[in-house]
Amino acid sequence: MNANRYIARAADVAARMIGGEMMIMSGADSSLYSLNETASILWQAADGVTPLAQIVERHICADYAVDPATALRDAEELAQDLARHGILLLADAPVPDATLRDTVPPARESP
Amino acid sequence: MREMGAKALKLGIPLGVQLDLTYRCNERCVHCYLDHDDHGEMTTAEIRDLLDQLAAAGVFFLILSGGEIFLRKDLFEIVEYARKLMFSVKLKTNAVMIRKAKAKRIAALGVESVQISVYSHRAEVHDAITKLPGSFRRTIEGARLLKSNGVRVSFANVLMKHNAGDYPEVQALAAELGVGYNVDATITPMMDGDRSILDLNIAPAALEQVFHNSTLVGNAEEFCAPPSGPLAQADALDTLPCSAGHTACYVSPYGDVYPCVQFPLPSGNVRKTRFLDIWQHSPQLKEVRAITMADLQGCSSCTHGSSCSRCPGLAYMEGNMRGPSTQDCEKSFARTGVPSANLLRKQAATARQEPASGAGTPSPLSAKHTVIWMAAQS
């Protein structure tokens, strides 16, 4: 496992937090994905310049009772899965262009 | 997608918004429902602020339309900002102004799709409708450029008297170019209520042909099956007429908010009130949301109740948002050959009027309507 991996949101996707669930539409084929809580955390933190290990440490280990090595392994599997669907980029070097995107503004939870 | 819609409905989220950036246009289509003067369009800064508000409100699908959107010099700034906010952006255009650089930029911005108005495969027919010489050639060139840059493109083929028979060839042209194709057989009244352009609607026989064409409507047998009767009372109470005002709305270039582009019920203006306040608290939108199928006068008991495509906006423009939309009654008849309760009522009213008022009295129906329900009785 490479601890210095980077994740970035794919540039051609659409995304919005709706009712606490991150909805993402692939730019490649318009498929719609719904991310669970931890996947949403990774997605929102995927700025292309923060190492995955650091994201996991800051956002996963801090909030969930899980050891860093296990969390990183799970996170990388998840990132690979999202990358296969074309909604996340997984790289061995920073992807600075990804920082152009702001954090997705959350939608209000109820009317 | 259905789950997403259901969730948005439950949470009161405006999942889709059509934002018209301008009503100005380089074409003057004979059937257009807009006035093309600029009455004070929102500035770039106002639109950016509105996009921030729409994103915060939970809008996912953003349609940018007009008028002709490429007449806005700040179009790419707007699209770029919308994509930065991660909307799924769809553009509606006539593509006349799209050349290589613009096609490339649209592709680079990750626009979901571009819908292009094409009226005929014959340049002379298309150009006669748009009243812009050379528009067909440029539109098709624009479509090719977008396609070659990897942008998803679809043709929107509005049918009217001028081009009623051309759709198979437009469909073939779309297939040849590898782009999508949608047919729209409804000419709608102008936004100011002027209904004169409805005379351009295609004849009932032509509409019937469209509705029985499986390549256009999917399973034609199913689509044109006899009506299965009114909705059960319990279903009628739960069933919403459409997404307008429920999970979708429309914003004009001047900031006016309406339930839908085809439903010009003024519900607020984003220059005076925050979008979310309008969405949540506008009395007009609340009224639209309060309507269920059970409330529809003359429709809730109609035999087409469970399969009708009734548009509340067209009903509103006809005078009553809780009433029937005669254009949709005509569609139901063209699909199934069975007249709606509304058409039968109009028939009875006309029959009562005729002996008393004589042949010179204008009928509430156009000649086309009369032909439809008379045919239904034979």
Within a domain: residue A97? no
Q: How confident is the model at residue B1 (pLDDT cuts 50, 70, 90)?
A: confident
Cβ distance B13 to A11 less than 8 Å, yes or no, reads no
Q: How confident is the model at residue A110 (pLDDT cuts 50, 70, 90)?
A: very low
Within a domain: residue A104? no
DSSP for residue A104: P
Question: Residue B364: is its pLDDT beyond 50?
Answer: no
Query: What span, in angstroms and rounded, lies between the C-alpha atoms of A34 and A31?
Result: 10
Within a domain: residue A36? yes
Q: Does A29 touch chain B (CB under 8 A)?
A: no
A6-9/A88-91 β-pairing: antiparallel
Average pLDDT over residues B162-190: 95
The count of structural domains within chain A is 1
Q: How confident is the model at residue B351 (pLDDT cuts 50, 70, 90)?
A: confident
DSSP for residue B321: T
- Nearest-CA residue of chain A relative to B11? A110
Please tell me the pTM assigned to this model: 0.88
* Ordered DSSP codes for B4-51: HHHHHHHHT---EEEEE--S--S---TT--S--S-S-PPPHHHHHHHH
pLDDT confidence of residue A1: 53
Within a domain: residue A73? yes
pLDDT confidence of residue A107: 52
* Dihedral angle, C-alpha B213, B219, B220, B221, nearest 10 °: 150
The distance of B179 to chain A (nearest Cα, Å) reads 14
- Any idea what the Cα angle at residue A53 is, between residues A48 and A58, rounded to 5°? 90
Provide the residue range defining the domain that includes A77. Answer: 6-84
Within a domain: residue A109? no
Average pLDDT over residues A83-103: 77
* Among A34, A102, A111, beta carbon nearest to B12: A111
The tokens 């259901």 sit on which residue?
Answer: B6
- Which strand (E) or helix (H) includes residue A88? strand A88-91
Residue type, B371: V
pLDDT confidence of residue B241: 67
User: When comparing pLDDT for B356 and B343, which is higher?
Assistant: B343
Exposure string for A1-32, b = 16+ CB within 10 A, e = fewer: eeeebbbbbbbbbbbbbbbebbbbbbbeeeee
Q: How confident is the model at residue B362 (pLDDT cuts 50, 70, 90)?
A: very low
Query: What span, in angstroms and rounded, lies between the C-alpha atoms of B154 and B131?
Result: 22
Q: Does A28 touch chain B (CB under 8 A)?
A: no
SS3 B256: strand
DSSP for residue B152: -
Within a domain: residue A66? yes
pLDDT confidence of residue B193: 82
Within a domain: residue A27? yes
pLDDT confidence of residue A50: 94
Question: Residue B201: is its pLDDT beyond 90?
Answer: yes
Query: What span, in angstroms and rounded, lies between the C-alpha atoms of B278 and B256?
Result: 10
Q: Using beta carbons and an 8 Å cutoff, which residues of B are at the interface with A?
A: 1, 3-4, 7-8, 10-13, 15, 52, 55-61, 84-89, 110, 112, 152, 276, 280
Average pLDDT over residues B208-218: 93
Task: Encode pLDDT of B54-107 as tens digits.
Answer: 999 999 999 999 999 999 999 999 999 999 999 999 999 999 999 999 999 999
B229 token code pair: 């009767």
Within a domain: residue A94? no
Cross-strand bridge partners of residue A16: A23
- Which strand (E) or helix (H) includes residue A9? strand A6-9
Task: Encode pLDDT of B255-306 as tens digits.
Answer: 999 999 999 999 999 999 999 999 999 999 999 998 887 788 778 788 888 7
User: When comparing pLDDT for B226 and B83, which is higher?
Assistant: B83
Q: Look up the CATH number of the domain holding residue A27.
A: 1.10.10
